[in-house]
Structure 1
Amino acid sequence: MRSSQSAPQEVALRHRRLSATGLSTESINTIKAIEDKAEKTLLLLWDDLPPWRRDNAFIYSAYCQICPSYLHSLRSLFYLHNESVNIWWHLVGAIVAIAGSPYLYYVIRPRYDSATVSDVLVFACFIGGAVLCLGMSATFHAVLNHSQEVARWGNKLDYTGIVVLIVGSFVPALYYGFFCKPTLLTAYLCLICLLGTGCAVVSWAEQFRTSKWRPYRAMMFIGLGLSGFIPVIHGITIYGYKGLENRMSVTRIIIHGAMYIFGAALYAARWPERSFPGAFDIWGSSHQIFHMFVLLAAATHFYGMAKAFDYHHTVLGSQCLTA
């Protein structure tokens, strides 16, 4: 791996040398095409980056070349660099969520005569939030090498996607947990939507996306997630832990939240690359670990909501039982 700071001059020199070799025009053009393709996949070092591309000083190498071409950004999906894992973790997750949704609808819904449009809508909020979050995250990391302006907008959409996923995760949990308490259900849905809107607005501030604000970004998203413990604690006082476990899968909600918090904490601390600079440039950096925990948390939450759905339609029969 090397810097491509003098790449244009080197390419021009090689082309002149090729022309002087006496090779056929077709052969020269073939060689030039191969060289140009190789040149476009050369990776940069931290010292080669402009200020706007510098986010994590503990990642020393394997940065994509900056080129104002979406085709160039798309090609970066097919060679290895320090954003490859971030892109593919969430791209595959988004594809699985999109492809799996129709299957789940047609397989699960016929099992319960009492299933309603509301069940579909609350799951759509969660799955739709996951698709938006994972899709916008993968897109941002893929076009990060396009230009400063595109990176800026992609970053804002990335943060917005995180907010949408967190808020969307709460919708089915609150719906099944407080189905028999419509006033509380409405109040908590309004609260989480209000908090989510506030976080989204803040995340669009220019200062918010700077490296200096990295810990504050993590704390804001952690705080938004922790706000969900307010209805959880309230629900436990009403139904007890076992009762809320049946209705809302509270244990899996706690595990889901813990995964988010742990991943976000590593992201904020920039660990393990902080302790071993340059060792995790391509594999195992804090941002990649955070992406992994986002996927694991989403899968855990989905399983928990499926359990809550089962309880709601089998044991409760979609009815509010009274003593």
Structure 2
Amino acid sequence: MGRRMGEKQHQKHDPGRGTGRDSTKRGRRGSASSEVGKSRRKETTAEHFGHISTKKELESSPSRSVLRLYTIDEVPSYLCDNASILTGYRMNYTTEMCVRSVFALHNETFNIWTHLFGFVVFVVVITFFFVGVLVPSLFHHQVSSNGVQSASQLSRDSLSEYRWPTLIVFAALAFGALTCMLCSATFHTLIPHECPTVYRWAHVLDYFGITFMVVGSFLPMCYMCFACTPSLKWGYMGMIFFFGIGGILGPCFRSWTDPSYMRFKIAFYVCMVGSGLIPITHIYLILPLNISTAVVEGLLLMMVLYGVGVVVYVFQVPEVFYPGRFDIYLSSHQLWHIFVLAAALVHFFNCAAMYVNMHSLPLNC
């Protein structure tokens, strides 16, 4: 009995045994608290980000379904080349999100739609001109009520001689206009793509489109107005082809799309388009005044539209005066797109008028 009492007292006062049981209990309580903490953190994380455990859930998660917009302070520098546009930026979009953003409102919406609209307009105008005017007069020598009478006054021999070259230069004009509109709309759609390679090549395509349109715009003018002076015709065509080679090779270098080269690129394209003033002046000098006036007026109107557009774009008017006010509507880049579309349409109709009145131009040398 004494031994039992001693054992009981020993057990009662044994620090080792008490500590073991207490530590076990504390361990269990600590483990339980840890599990509760983890559970709470999971709930908090799930509430904040949504539960994401599989690829399918990732693709359908709120972060991928909502087209979030960002401010200028949240996006990388290559996405904000205009310090006066403060909001409405897209970033880290998938291809599907980029496509959906075409129908959403952000600071690129009107950049996309001005040239998507331009593409559709050119499809209609080009189809009407080729099907209703150019092809019938070149290949069927038809006289219709839509203005082909003048073009059809050329002899069959003359039409045979100029048939394919005429078709080629107008096809180049049409291809350049359509390519410029489509490549521009594509680039502005894919600007926020999460893959840098997609962004870069979309940017390259945009520059290609500009080059194709400028080169294509020169060809009908030079071909028809300098038909009797082959040296001038090929000289001016060679000049624009020289610029065209630069406009194709340049964007293939990474430095071309670097914002630090912006001034150089603007100067290059201004010189490329501005070089058209040389043949325009020559046309005015060599053609009779009654013929050259309408032709030159159309060409000068095109140049003025391009010029005003460049000034608006370079000096970032009007948002430079009211930063943040023109983030979504009527920013300088959007106005630049409108001027480009207007200039391209003016030039196409002017070239079509040259063809319709081809008997007045020196094609029968």
TM-score range, shorter chain: 0.7 to 0.9
* Alignment check: 8 A CA contact 1:177 1:244 kept: no
In structure 2, C-alpha distance between the alignment counterparts of 1:202 and 1:37, rounded to whole Å: 37
Q: Percent same amino acid at aligned positions?
A: 31
Larger Rg: 2
* Alignment check: 8 A CA contact 1:264 1:290 kept: yes
Structure 1 position 168, deviation (Å): 0.6
Q: 1:16 to 1:38 in 2, by over 3 A?
A: closer
Matched, 1:208 2:256: yes
The two structures have a TM-score, normalised by structure 1, of 0.82
In structure 2, C-alpha distance between the alignment counterparts of 1:49 and 1:16, rounded to whole Å: 23
User: What residue ranges of structure 2 are gaps of 5+ in the alignment?
Assistant: 1-42, 52-56, 137-147
Matched, 1:80 2:105: yes
Q: Which amino acid aligns with 2:75?
A: L
In structure 2, C-alpha distance between the alignment counterparts of 1:10 and 1:41, rounded to whole Å: 23
Structure 1 position 229, deviation (Å): 1.6
Of 206, 231, 236, the match for 2:284: 236
Matched, 1:63 2:89: yes
- 1:32-66 deviation digits (Å, cap 9, x = unpaired): 97x83895222111111123323212111011232
In structure 1, C-alpha distance between the alignment counterparts of 2:251 and 2:291, rounded to whole Å: 37
In structure 2, C-alpha distance between the alignment counterparts of 1:90 and 1:61, rounded to whole Å: 22
Matched, 1:102 2:150: no
Q: Which amino acid aligns with 1:78?
A: F
User: Corresponding residue for 1:131?
Assistant: 178
In structure 2, C-alpha distance between the alignment counterparts of 1:186 and 1:165, rounded to whole Å: 19
In structure 2, C-alpha distance between the alignment counterparts of 1:72 and 1:188, rounded to whole Å: 45
User: Corresponding residue for 2:247?
Assistant: 199
In structure 1, C-alpha distance between the alignment counterparts of 2:289 and 2:254, rounded to whole Å: 43
Matches within 5 A, 1:303-322: 303-313=349-359, 315=360, 318-320=363-365
Q: Which amino acid aligns with 2:221?
A: A
- 1:254-286 deviation digits (Å, cap 9, x = unpaired): 110111121112211122111111111011111
Q: Which amino acid aligns with 2:185?
A: A
Structure 1 position 151, deviation (Å): 1.5
Of 225, 228, 238, the match for 1:180: 228
Q: 1:119 to 1:10 in 2, by over 3 A?
A: farther
In structure 1, C-alpha distance between the alignment counterparts of 2:288 and 2:248, rounded to whole Å: 33
In structure 2, C-alpha distance between the alignment counterparts of 1:10 and 1:291, rounded to whole Å: 47
In structure 2, C-alpha distance between the alignment counterparts of 1:224 and 1:179, rounded to whole Å: 22
Matched, 1:91 2:116: yes
The two structures have a TM-score, normalised by structure 2, of 0.73
User: Corresponding residue for 1:50?
Assistant: 76
Q: 1:134 to 1:316 in 2, by over 3 A?
A: closer
User: What residue ranges of structure 1 are gaps of 5+ in the alignment?
Assistant: 1-8, 18-28
Of 164, 169, 191, the match for 2:212: 164
Q: 1:214 to 1:268 in 2, by over 3 A?
A: farther
In structure 2, C-alpha distance between the alignment counterparts of 1:125 and 1:291, rounded to whole Å: 21
In structure 2, C-alpha distance between the alignment counterparts of 1:191 and 1:317, rounded to whole Å: 22
Structure 1 position 311, deviation (Å): 1.7
Of 153, 160, 167, the match for 2:201: 153
Structure 1 position 307, deviation (Å): 1.5
Matched, 1:270 2:316: yes
Structure 1 position 318, deviation (Å): 4.5
